[in-house]
Amino acid sequence: MATISLKIRILDKEYQVNCQPDEREALEYSAQLLNEKMEEIRRGSHIIGLERIAVMAALNLAHDLIRSEESARMDNGAADLLQSMDSKLDSVLNDLAN
């Protein structure tokens, strides 16, 4: 599949990147999310320099990702536990009915 060239803007700088056509929306959303995070850091701190702001944004986004993954694992664990309890309750109710 041919790649497309896409211009994205992050902290008032324009970057040209290539991506697959079906990844365009995700890349645009990613660039928007990164830009928002970097703007937030620039406004809310005394960090100077694009590179330092980018590193802090990357750390924040990585931290958010890890928290989301941990939360998803906990949710899956809870769902598995509930499923197991449901099965046991069904078994006990069936035994009582017979």
Q: Where are the domains of the chain?
A: 4-97
Q: How confident is the model at residue 75 (pLDDT cuts 50, 70, 90)?
A: confident
Residue 98 CA to residue 96 CA, distance in Å, equals 5
Q: Is 13 exposed, middle or buried (0-12, 13-18, 19+ CB in 10 A)?
A: exposed
DSSP 3-state of 14: strand
Higher pLDDT, residue 28 or 48: 28
The single-letter DSSP state of residue 98 is -
Q: How confident is the model at residue 53 (pLDDT cuts 50, 70, 90)?
A: very high
Residue 35 CA to residue 29 CA, distance in Å, equals 10
Residue with tokens 């700088």: 13
Name the pTM for this structure: 0.68
4-97: what fold? Answer: Double Stranded RNA Binding Domain (3.30.160)
